Amino acid sequence: MTGAQGNVRTMDRSAGRLSERAVYAVLFAAFAGVTAQLLVLAIPRRADVTLAISEPIAATSFSRPDIVDRNGRLLATDLEAPSIFADAGLVLDRDEVVEKLLTVLPDLNGDQLLRDLSDKNRRFIWVRRGVSPGVAQKVHDLGLPGISFRYELKRAYPGGKLAGHLLGYTDVDNRGVKGIERYIDEKVGVDPVHSAVLSSRPPVRLSIDIGVQHALEDELDDGARRYKSEGAAGIVLNIKTGEVLASASLPRVDPAWPLLTLDDKHADRISGGTYELGSVFKTLTLAMAFDEGLAKPDTLLDVREPLEAGRFTVKDFHPSNRPLTVTEVYTHSSNVGAAMLGLEAGPEKLATFLKKVGVTEQMTTEAGPLATPQLPPRWNRVSTITASFGHGIAVAPLQFAAAAATILNNGKTVRPTFLRKFDAGAADGKAVVTPDTSRLMATLMRLNVVNKDGTGGKADVPGYRVGGKTGTADVAAKGGYTSNSVITSFLATFPTDDPQYLTFVILFEPKALEGARGYRTAGLNAAPVTGELIARIAAQLGVAPQTVTATQ
């Protein structure tokens, strides 16, 4: 009996050990299962595994290449951003879901979402795409059944509003809608993706320089505040290559939030609008007169009497009460003198010249088409007079700047581009005016800055041989012009002994400063803004300062 009892106890202990091992095995298997599930859940960016089987398999977004400046600094890139969707079949209380979502997303269309959630067969409903991680976390913390997340690509702009008009923007599917972003879709290429897959395409390298762009926007901001203008715009252009180094329009826009700025106030004034620019147009008129052999710098014009142009009388802002040389017509900014040169050429010759330098037909760049020039309905005596000093003809500022650059580029056509050119050589443009005319206009622009009677003295920057021309134009209105609003501008080039760069600064409806006797002409506002801009960017652009002489 004792042996039998011992055997029974041994068998009981063995069975106990087997039972204990079985329990451990079950527990181990359970822990292993939990661990495996946690590992699956921890795999990054796999939110798409939660999608309902009925979700469409078509691409929901597009992968885009980066945009960088001429030196490779980042301007735009794709980021992985969470998007929120709902599965109506899993929603327990649609009213509660909508009510709680509105606490995080107050601009959500709650009525529409209620209607969408009422159909239990709808297994995939977008709630909000491309939200910030913080918003996604708040929605997650609501703990709403049927609300889930997936990652998509969303365009991001590290510089914020920097160069916002030029860059353009994308839609909710990350497709380019405007500006360089649209150019990428049309000419470079984007890739359809089903999830957050970053592009493998090389970056799109622009011609602009972030440092020059920042300086331009900063000086325009300061000028707009100082002169209380309604807006401002400006460009910096490489005359030799046509590369736009900076382009800005105020008020700025944020390409990440385009819907907040899609109004006339935030339009791109550089390329999206046309304006009568005033006396800067005399640069073209005099270039025509010199190139056609109609005048020389010392040709005398009797500007003492006003000119009748239809129902308008053309006179000089500061009458000279004596004949002026053509050089003085430019430096004194004589409307009568410029009109006389236009009449000497005649309507047909003036219109032909303006077409030749590129201001009468619509221009297109990589950022899209510019606003169509507004031309006189017919070229006659009146339109010839007014166009000679920049009235009765309206063009986009970028288009005018390209025409002026053509005059200064040894007379060869300049086509502006927003893409970096890697060929260091000058653009091989078509000859429009002779090299002699080009050099002569650069000299006149320098004289207008350094001569005591010139209108551009406040744009001078010691050592950098700045030349330029002022423009002050009344704002066009229905049936005529406003009596209390002007657009002022300053066209500049430096160094004038061999023009390399062109700047064009425009202020819209500036106000007169105290002590200016009510004057708000370009020499008092656009010119000093230009001088401060050039003082900041000349060294960045590699222009070495030299000793300034009286006329060089």
pLDDT score of 510? 96
Q: Could you please report the per-residue DSSP string of 91-137?
A: -S-HHHHHHHHHHH-TTS-HHHHHHHHT-TT---EEEESS--HHHHH
Domain boundaries, the chain: 61-88+119-205, 210-537
* Banded model confidence at residue 482, pLDDT cuts 50, 70, 90: confident
As a CATH number, domain 210-537 is 3.40.710.10
Separation between Cα atoms, residue 537 and residue 520, nearest integer Å: 26
* Dist CA 387 CA 351 (whole Å): 9
pLDDT, tens digit, for every residue of 366-403?
999 999 999 999 999 999 999 999 999 999 999 999 99
Q: Give pLDDT tens digits for 256-267.
A: 998 878 888 899
- pLDDT tens for 94-123 read 999 999 999 999 999 999 999 999 999 999
Same fold, 61-88+119-205 and 210-537: no
Q: Say how many residues make up the chain.
A: 552
Beta bridge partners of 85: 126, 148
What fold characterizes domain 61-88+119-205? Penicillin-binding protein 2a (Domain 2) (3.90.1310)
Q: Which helix (H) or strand (E) holds 100?
A: helix 94-104
Q: What is the CA radius of gyration of the chain?
A: 34
In this structure, are residues 274 and 374 in contact, taking their beta carbons and an 8 Å threshold? yes
Residue 481: HSE in the Cβ half-sphere, 13 Å Cα cutoff: 17
Tokens 């309206």, residue located = 394
The tens digit of pLDDT for each residue in 2-57 reads: 444 444 444 445 445 545 555 455 445 555 454 444 444 444 444 443 443 344 44
What does 308-374 look like in DSSP terms, one character per residue? Answer: EETTEEE--SS--SS-EEHHHHHHTT-HHHHHHHHHHH-HHHHHHHHHHHT-SS--EETTEEPPPPB
H/E element holding 436? helix 435-450
pLDDT above 60 for 231: yes
Task: Give the distance from CA 492 to its chain's centroid.
Answer: 21
Give the integer Cα–Cα distance in Å for 261 and 165: 10
Q: Give the pLDDT mean for 473-478.
A: 84
**Mean pLDDT, rounded, for 454-461:** 96
Amino acid 426: pLDDT: 56
Would you name the residues annotated as active-site residues? 279
Among 13-27, 145-159, 193-207, whose mean pLDDT is lowest? 13-27
pLDDT of residue 326: 98
Residue of 411, 376, 415, 412 lying closest to 398 (CA atoms):
415
Question: Which range among 63-67, 370-374, 546-550 shows the weakest confidence by mean pLDDT?
Answer: 546-550
User: Which tokens hold the place of 508?
Assistant: 């819209």
Q: Mean pLDDT over all residues of the chain?
A: 89
Angle of the 347-357 helix axis to the 397-408 helix axis, nearest 10: 90
Report pLDDT for 515. 66
Please measure the distance between the N-terminal and C-terminal CA atoms of the chain and give it in whole angstroms: 129
Question: For residue range 395-452, what is the model confidence (pLDDT) as tens digits?
Answer: 999 999 999 999 999 999 999 999 999 875 555 789 999 999 999 999 999 999 999 9
